[in-house]
Amino acid sequence: MKFSDIPSHESAKQRLRDMIDNNRIPHALLLEGPAGIGKFALARAAAQYIHCENRIDGDSCGKCAACLQHQSFNHIDTHFVFPVVKRKNSSGAVVSDDYIGEWRDFLRDNPYMDFQQWLVSLDSPNAQPAIYVSESEQLVHKLSFTAHRARYKVVLLWLPERLNVDASNKLLKQIEEPFGDTLFIMVSNNAKAILPTIYSRTQRIELKRLPDDVIADSLITRYSIDETDAMALAHNAEGNMITAIHSISLSKESHRFLELFMELMRQSYQRHVKELKAWATDVASVANRSCVSWTIANGLYARISFTISTFRDSTI
Ligand SMILES: [Zn+2]
């Protein structure tokens, strides 16, 4: 992830560049702000810039060995810490590394870090994931070794508000008296929920919601949404790219059901029984493909079945 891959947040990028270029990087940095604005992408871009072997024009090169490792979420001196849940039927301690495969897939598919999607990745849609003391213990052990190749080891910690009390206390010493080559970059959606002992020891960069035009541009280029729809979706998203992306799926789903409904009316009006049965089969298959759509499709399916039986009875 390069700085140039991330829309908006130009002043935050400049602050990060200045810190890194002048070698005045705080040992515990916190990027805080609302969800869905690209904070974790910015943290990743900063880590890549720190490790890049050939920085160019205030950005990482994207081509050196370190950049390539970052782009595959596999840099040897970068450690990811994120909230997890205990696996079903497991009584042992749980750490982020237990979910590293799911995490890499999640990062690849969710640059804006959709928390609900992370719950799906954890196979626990209703869970309250946390960062446990076992994580802090493992991290302290990892950080006791010097960096393998880079000057700095970087810990990218997603959602420090989900560190439980024991985990926070265990990590506190690392943050207060870190090894000289260790940098923490934390990313929070809700900084008020971070334990004050951790929060007060961070240097903070506050990020704002995304402007509507930035969201609209992204919807147009990445999702081929037309300009008018993109601006409307962006306005309703209130600066949150995750909300905007969800709206696209809902909008597409609504459009599909409107088409189905119009087809139903057309065939009913023309009394095309064979086509109406085909329509019912089509709706049933939609219901099978989409859990979200199931209730709506099932309702329509019941309605068309009733329409067919009524029509058949009236023609006998
Ligand atoms: Zn590079």
Residue 147 shares a structural domain with residue 259: no
Q: Over 80: is that where the pLDDT of 148 sits?
A: no
Distance, CA 61 to ligand 1 centroid (Å)? Answer: 4
Residue 85 shares a structural domain with residue 227: no
Q: What is residue 25's predicted lDDT score, i.e. its pLDDT?
A: 94
Distance, CA 56 to ligand 1 centroid (Å)? Answer: 8
Distance, CA 312 to ligand 1 centroid (Å)? Answer: 70
Residue 166 within any structural domain of the chain? yes
Instruction: Return d(Cα 84, Cα 158) in angstroms, integer.
Output: 11
Residue 94 shares a structural domain with residue 219: no
Residue 245 within any structural domain of the chain? no
Residue 90 within any structural domain of the chain? yes
Residue 244 within any structural domain of the chain? no
Q: What is residue 291's predicted lDDT score, i.e. its pLDDT?
A: 44
Residue 215 shares a structural domain with residue 286: no
Q: What is residue 292's predicted lDDT score, i.e. its pLDDT?
A: 43
Distance, CA 215 to ligand 1 centroid (Å)? Answer: 28
Question: Which of 208, 225, 258 lies at the terminal end of a domain, its last residue?
Answer: 208
Residue 43 shares a structural domain with residue 55: yes
What size, in residues, is the chain? 316
Distance, CA 52 to ligand 1 centroid (Å)? Answer: 4
Instruction: Provide the 10 A C-beta neighbour count for residue 10.
Output: 10
Residue 56 shares a structural domain with residue 73: yes
Residue 224 within any structural domain of the chain? yes
Average pLDDT over residues 126-141: 93
Domain span at residue 290 reads 250-315
- pLDDT tens digit sequence for 62-105: 999 999 999 999 999 999 999 999 877 776 789 999 999 999 99
Q: What is residue 144's predicted lDDT score, i.e. its pLDDT?
A: 87
Residue 131 within any structural domain of the chain? yes
Residue 83 shares a structural domain with residue 140: yes
Distance, CA 60 to ligand 1 centroid (Å)? Answer: 5
Distance, CA 67 to ligand 1 centroid (Å)? Answer: 4
Residue 153 shares a structural domain with residue 220: no
Distance, CA 8 to ligand 1 centroid (Å)? Answer: 22
- Surface-to-core class of residue 18, CB atoms within 10 Å of its CB (0-12 exposed, 13-18 middle, 19+ buried): exposed
182-188 vs 153-158, strand pairing mode: parallel
Q: Is the dihedral of CA 107, 111, 114, 115 positive or negative?
A: positive
Instruction: Return d(Cα 213, Cα 231) in angstroms, integer.
Output: 7
The domain that holds 89 is classified in CATH as 3.40.50.300
- Number of domains making up the chain: 3
Q: What is the DSSP string of the chain?
A: --GGGS-S-HHHHHHHHHHHHTT---SEEEEE--TTSSHHHHHHHHHHHHH-SS-BTTB--S-SHHHHHHHTT--TTEEEE--B-PPTT--S---GGGGHHHHHHHHHH-TT--HHHHHHHTT-TT---BB-HHHHHHHHHHHTSPPSSSS-EEEEEE-GGGB-HHHHHHHHHHHHS--TTEEEEEEES-GGGS-HHHHTTSEEEE-PPPPHHHHHHHHHHHH---HHHHHHHHHHHTT-HHHHHHHHHHHHHHHHHHHHHHHHHHHHHTT-HHHHHHHHHHHHHHHHH-HHHHHHHHHHHHHHHHHHHHHHHHH-
For ligand 1, a single-atom ion, the residues with CB < 5 A are 52, 60-61, 64, 67
Residue 147 tokens read as 């960096």
Instruction: Return d(Cα 17, Cα 8) in angstroms, integer.
Output: 15
Distance, CA 22 to ligand 1 centroid (Å)? Answer: 18
Distance, CA 59 to ligand 1 centroid (Å)? Answer: 9
- pLDDT tens digit sequence for 29-72: 999 999 999 999 999 999 999 999 999 999 999 999 999 999 99
Residue 25 within any structural domain of the chain? yes
Question: Which of 208, 231, 265 lies at the terminal end of a domain, its last residue?
Answer: 208
Average pLDDT over residues 201-223: 94
Residue 256 shares a structural domain with residue 223: no
Residue 167 shares a structural domain with residue 23: yes
Residue 232 shares a structural domain with residue 292: no
Q: Over 90: is that where the pLDDT of 295 sits?
A: no
Residue 136 shares a structural domain with residue 266: no
